[in-house]
Homo-oligomer: A and B are copies of this chain.
């Protein structure tokens, strides 16, 4: 038996046929072309799915289920996408529409949850009883896996780690609250802190890296300057690492999973980031002498979306 995984993004929709071990057997892609009626997008999705299935050499009867990862949230009961801001979707009956192309159980979950599930099936957290995946990108997303199963909450509104309050009177967040975790732990936060420092310290290496245009500064430039020994960038990096360590401590104090996996663009900094974070986390631990969650960098890369989506139907 095989599983179909669909990774829905604002630019493209990636679709794969995946085996029970999380190996992609065949994959394909169709452009999202955001702005079209959802029926059109799902039609392209459905046709691409059938094409990839045919190419894989498997038949409809070999397919256990279809899983879809979306940058939004879905109602697990009805299979309706409740919100998917990047797509402009609201209350889209994705399960029903998709079943017109292939009549199989359809599971839909958040993209961070799906990526976390993929890592726990065949990535860095494979074999772990429990893990929390944290995507460090434009925002901060979370994916909780307990006992091998994804957990997005009883009502599907959980694992929103990016919006946990971290600083009561802190930075205003896009969600309307203040001081949300993603205001301090996202790539956006690195850029904000980098810009603030660069405006005060134009002698920083960051100035050169962004070609003298502060608005072109990105998180990688800040980290690269820090790696290069630039004191101003090192200050920003250390500040960021401290926030991230507090965020990781929050996950430990709350859920204490076997492993915490860092993914998303910022995690590409690899051991430079990982070593600094691992060194900083113990400062905040409640029980200094006891074991706690392993901290690792995600391993699967962009395929995690297809794999994790496919695995939503495994043991479901």
B residues near A177, Cβ cutoff 8 Å: 284
CB <8 Å contact, A252 and B286 = no
Stretch at the interface among A38-46, A63-71, A203-211, A255-263: A255-263
A284, B165: Cα distance in complex, Å:
10
Interface string of A145-162 (1 = CB under 8 A from B): 010000111111111110
A190 to chain B, nearest CB (A): 17
A153-B257, A253-B160, A256-B158 known; A168-B165 Cβ under 8 A? no
A164, B165: Cα distance in complex, Å:
10
A155-B292, A287-B83 known; A167-B168 Cβ under 8 A? yes
Instruction: Say yes or no for A195: interface residue by CB 8 A criterion.
Output: no
Instruction: Identify the closest chain B residue to A158 (Cβ).
Output: B256
A286, B158: Cα distance in complex, Å:
10
CB <8 Å contact, A155 and B293 = yes
| This chain's copy number in the assembly | 2
Interface string of A168-196 (1 = CB under 8 A from B): 11100001010100000000000000000
Instruction: Say yes or no for A27: interface residue by CB 8 A criterion.
Output: no
Binding site for B on A (CB under 8 A): 73, 82-83, 129-130, 142, 144, 146, 151-161, 163-170, 175, 177, 179, 246, 249-250, 252-258, 284-287, 290-293
CB <8 Å contact, A82 and B290 = yes
A175, B249: Cα distance in complex, Å:
13
CB <8 Å contact, B161 and A254 = yes
Pairs across A and B, CB under 8 Å, 8 listed: A130-B154, A155-B291, A158-B256, A160-B253, A161-B254, A163-B286, A164-B250, A168-B179
A292 to chain B, nearest CB (A): 6
CB <8 Å contact, B258 and A154 = yes
B residues near A129, Cβ cutoff 8 Å: 154
CB <8 Å contact, B73 and A155 = no
Known: A154-B293, A158-B252. 16 other contacts (CB 8 A): A73-B287, A146-B151, A152-B256, A154-B256, A155-B291, A156-B256, A157-B253, A157-B256, A157-B290, A159-B254, A161-B253, A161-B254, A164-B164, A165-B250, A168-B179, A254-B255
